[in-house]
Amino acid sequence: MVRRGGGIPPLEAIALTRFGKNLYVRFLNGTVPEHDLTYSDVFMVPSRSGVGSRLDVDLATADGSGATIPIVTANMTAVSGRRMAETVARRGGLAILPQDIPADVVADVITWVKSRDLVVETALTLAPTDTAGDALSLLPKRAHNAVVVVADGRPVGVATEADCLGVDRFTQLSHVMSADPFTLPAGTPPEQAFSLLHEGRHRLAPVVDGSGRCLGIMTRTGALRATLYSPPWTPRDGCGSAPRSA
């Protein structure tokens, strides 16, 4: 087991770590491991800290990347794709795209990520005439686990995995969706969006523009996270999501 102290270590402590000495993380009872350890091999024992809340800690990196949280995804095809880059960027982290992807595809992914909204998540959309099987094949692609059913770009229903299970895969979504969904107007602050979803007992809601067209989707969890994490963004990055991806 190891004990981790609170606060940010001074530079001299970080330097000592490189030589096998760490003043802030140590093994209890003087134990010295005889082999390499992974996270599942140890139990972190917290020490007293002067930090009252994790929200009082600035996690922004000082390496010039602009990341507001020290999270970087691996440059593996099965890990860092367009969806992962969007999600991580929205929370302030970095996604490293695989080096074997063609340059034009990388440019397209970066442009797409920068075009995403800072708060509103990208929705999965299908038409009322699409099938439950179509929805079930799309649902794993997004954590919000819902498909917005749209007609002429406007949401007319929401279909979840629960709606699509237990029916024939060729059943049209118009027969299984929850019709006339609750929607949120574009530009609704995350705090207000969370309150509206919570008070109405809605897990999620499509976000619509002034003409009622679907712009994305907002979940209670996403609204809450948007109040805790902020992506790096400047006007030159456009009107979309976090600007940084590598």
What would the pLDDT profile of 202-242 be if each residue is shown by its tens digit?
Answer: 999 999 999 999 999 999 999 999 998 888 766 555 544 34
Q: Is 76 helix (H, G, I), strand (E, B) or coil?
A: coil
Q: Give the angle subtended at the CA of 141 by the CAs of 137 and 143, to the nearest 5°.
A: 120
What would the pLDDT profile of 24-71 be if each residue is shown by its tens digit?
Answer: 667 888 778 888 888 788 888 877 788 888 788 888 888 888 888 888
pTM of the full predicted structure? 0.73
What is the secondary structure of 84-100 as a DSSP string? HHHHHHHHT-EE---TT
Q: How high is the pLDDT of residue 65?
A: 82
DSSP assignment letter at 10: P
Separation between Cα atoms, residue 92 and residue 118, nearest integer Å: 10
What would the pLDDT profile of 169-194 be if each residue is shown by its tens digit?
Answer: 999 999 999 999 999 999 999 999 99
Q: Which domains does the chain have, with CATH numbers?
A: 2-52 (no CATH), 72-116 (no CATH), 124-228 (3.10.580.10)
Tokens of 71: 């999270």
